[in-house]
Structure formats: C-alpha cells, structure tokens
Amino acid sequence: MNTPVEGFSRLSKAEKIDWIASNFTKDAERTKQLLQQYWNPDKKVQKVHDEFIENTVSNYYLPFALAPNFLINDKLYAIPMVIEESSVVAAASKAAKFWLNRGGFKTAVIGTEKVGQVHFIFKGDSNKLQGFFDEIKPDFFKNTKSITQSMEKRGGGIKEILLRNMSDKVEGYHQLHCTFETKDAMGANFINSCLEQFASTLKVRASAYESFTTEEQDIEVVMSILSNYVPNCLVRAEVSCAVDALTEDGISAKEFAEKIIQAIAIAKAEPYRAVTHNKGIMNGVDAVILATGNDFRAIEAGIHAYASKDGPYSSLTHATVEGDVFKFWIEIPLALGTVGGLTSLHPLVKLALEILQNPSAEELMQIVAVAGLAQNFAAVRSLVTTGIQKGHMKMHLLNLLNQMGATENEKQQLVQYFKTNTVTNASVKEALEKIQSE
C-alpha cells in the first residue's frame, strides 16, 4: 500500500522519479526511461524548464505549429499555435487563405484597462466610510510610489481607485475597485503588489481614524487580488467583403452568407450551442496564448464571463449583411503581456514572439483575436456546408492509424485511400485489417 511522502519538494529530481516510479507505476524502469526521454538534451534549457514550476520530473510536449497567410491590418503574419487537437491549425490556415484576397482582417484595440480589488468587511456607517475613503485616497497613490515608479515611466500605473458598497450582497462587504494600465506587461504581480499596499494603508489609517468607533476602526481585509474579468481590456477583429465574393462550392454566395448569419443567431440564442461555438473560438485563441507564454486559463475565464455579460451565455462572434456587404466580427477581453514571465524565459516563446515580429501587448491582443475569429469562421463555414466531420476526421486519420499500430507503408496506402473515402474509426480499422490480411 502506498504511503504519504514527507519532504517531497526537497528530494532531487532523480529521487522524485524513483519514488513515483516505484510507488505508482507498474514498470518502474520503463517509467524512468520515459520521463528522461522527454528531457531537453541542452542542460541549460532543461534547467530553465525545471524552474518554471515545482516538483518537475520531465517535460510535457505539445506540437508547435504555424498558420500562415494572415493579413492583419495590411500586414502579413504567420501565427504560431500550440495545440494538440487535429484540424485546428489547418482550419485557421484555411480561413486565413480565404480572407487573404478579400481584404484580410481588420482589428482595433478598444481598451487596455485591467482590474484589481481589495475585498474587506466594514461593520459601521457606510457614509462615514465614504468620507474616510475620500480623505485617505491620495495616500493609496503616495504609498505605492516605489511600486509604480517604473511602470509610470513606461506610461502605465494606477488609473483609478473607487470605494464600492457591496453590503446588499454580503453583510458588511465593501471593496476598493481599482483599475490599472500595465502596457506590455500582463501585470499580475504589479497589480497584486499595489493591492496589498492599498490594503495595508486602509487598515493602518482606519485604526487611527478618530471619527470611527472602535468597531469601525477594525476593518477586516479578506483578500487583495487582481481580477481576470477585464471587460474594458477589449479588442475587436473583423472581416468583410461583398456578399458576391463569398464563393463556396455547391452553394450560392447569398445562401452561404444567410446560413452563416443563421448559425450565429442560433449560437446567440441557445447556450448549448453557444458553449461549443465559443469553444471553437478558444481553439484559436488558446493556441496562440500558449505559444506566446501567456495564461490561457485566465483568458478562458475572462472571455467566458464576457460571453455572459448581457445575461444568458451567448456567442462571442457576430455576423450581418448590410446592403451587399457581409461582415463577421468578434469583440473579446484579452489581458496579455509580451514582457515578463515566460516571455523572457521559454526559448520557444521567444521564437514565437519573434515570428510575430515582436509585437507589443496591444498588437498581440489583435493577433489573438484574429486567430479566434478565423477559427470560428472556419468551423461555421464547415458546419453550414459539408459538415464538421469530413475535414476533421481526415485530419484525425493519422492519429487513428497510430493508435492502431499501422506501419509507415500502411499509413501511406491508407492516406491515399481515404482521400476519396469517409474517415470513421470503424472504416479505418476495416481498411487497415484488409491491408494486413493481404
């Protein structure tokens, strides 16, 4: 029976591997070989990877791919994407090629405001608290000068600090709602450092504020933390062309445009469809976020919250025909960074940013939004024409063949065979068995 381990973090990497292999896997030697197989042969690079997180024993690789031919604001890009799902990169590339000769993608950053909050309990007169806040507000800025100095030199810093009374939701609950500009940094550490100083200033000043009762002076700070919901850190990406230019095999341009608009309308009205619709958008968004060393979990949380901003969960993309012009667009919140964190540590992140021509955070916001829009256009285009499985399963063919243990010669034969035949798990298995029997 396995037993708990003491001081695991203090063990060497080899000791950690020995322990996990011996206690939790059937073949300890095979486990050790597998974990070591994925180490980077460059010891300096491996040391960097080892120090990203705690208790590392190996690396977990995902494919690093490129989606070419993205024309964004009349500038051509090849977009790095890190993702394990087949057909995503192909779909993005296909959408980029479709719009390349139809004007490309147009983008604009609407806002770059980020948010952090100090959550606290105040049991007393809220009007007195407001007067206290108005009096000490300059101290919040003054007491964070050492933190904000460098950021202010780059054009960032604290934008605003507001007192909010939230006691109708939780008894005594109030908050400092704070907004920040962090320029090319994602800014999480900067924001959290400011917030913790705000909390300290709040408690110290309250404890000596003569107009408060003893109970009111004892403000309870619950937590100080940035928010990943950034509805004012917003970017827009769109494509448009004459309806007649929406050429598609087997369907008229007008019907194609109408079907896309209907598909978007359904995703706006039906949350079950909207979730899958938006997941497809995130295939593109997350792949670029990962490639550029940003936090895809924070982005996912913020974007999905934004999809519910008007009530029911709904589509993040929109489509219209105005006159004879078809327009397809997206607006999403993206708090990204191109300096700090993994951007200066991970060799492939550095390369991804170089491939993107070393964008600013605002430029990266636009590129990521385009990747999401392209992915969604490709998915909706397939859904309203040939269906999603035809293209997806062809891209999934090699995965199926690898799972079934096909040889290289068998793969070559079956790739040719399925150029004109439907790919399913059963059909691939049958075709492979037929070749093997012959």
Q: Is 297 exposed, middle or buried (0-12, 13-18, 19+ CB in 10 A)?
A: exposed
Structure tokens at 320: 């219209």
Instruction: Tell the residue number behind the tokens 């087997």, with chain if given.
Output: 250
Question: What distance in Å separates the CA atoms of residue 101 and residue 113, rounded to the nearest whole number?
Answer: 34
Structure tokens at 39: 């180490």
Asked if 84 is an active-site residue, the reply is: no
Asked if 433 is an active-site residue, the reply is: no
Structure tokens at 271: 């949350």
Structure tokens at 166: 């939230």
Asked if 85 is an active-site residue, the reply is: yes
Question: What distance in Å separates the CA atoms of residue 221 and residue 173, rounded to the nearest whole number?
Answer: 10
Kindly state the DSSP code that residue 216 receives in the 8-state scheme.
H
- Out of 85, 218, 255, 362, pick the active-site residue: 85
Question: What distance in Å separates the CA atoms of residue 77 and residue 108, rounded to the nearest whole number?
Answer: 16
Question: What distance in Å separates the CA atoms of residue 242 and residue 240, rounded to the nearest whole number?
Answer: 7
- Out of 13, 279, 350, 411, pick the active-site residue: 279
DSSP code string of 259-328: HHHHHHHHHHH-HHHHHHHHHHHHHHHHHHHHHTT--HHHHHHHHHHHTTTTSS---SEEEEEETTEEEE
Question: What distance in Å separates the CA atoms of residue 424 and residue 48, rounded to the nearest whole number?
Answer: 42
- Out of 295, 346, 363, 396, pick the active-site residue: 295
Instruction: Tell the residue number behind the tokens 């964070």, with chain if given.
Output: 144
Asked if 279 is an active-site residue, the reply is: yes
Instruction: Tell the residue number behind the tokens 């100095």, with chain if given.
Output: 149
Determine the 3-state secondary structure of 167 from DSSP.
coil
Q: Which amino acid is at 48?
A: V
Residues classed as catalytic? 85, 279, 295, 392
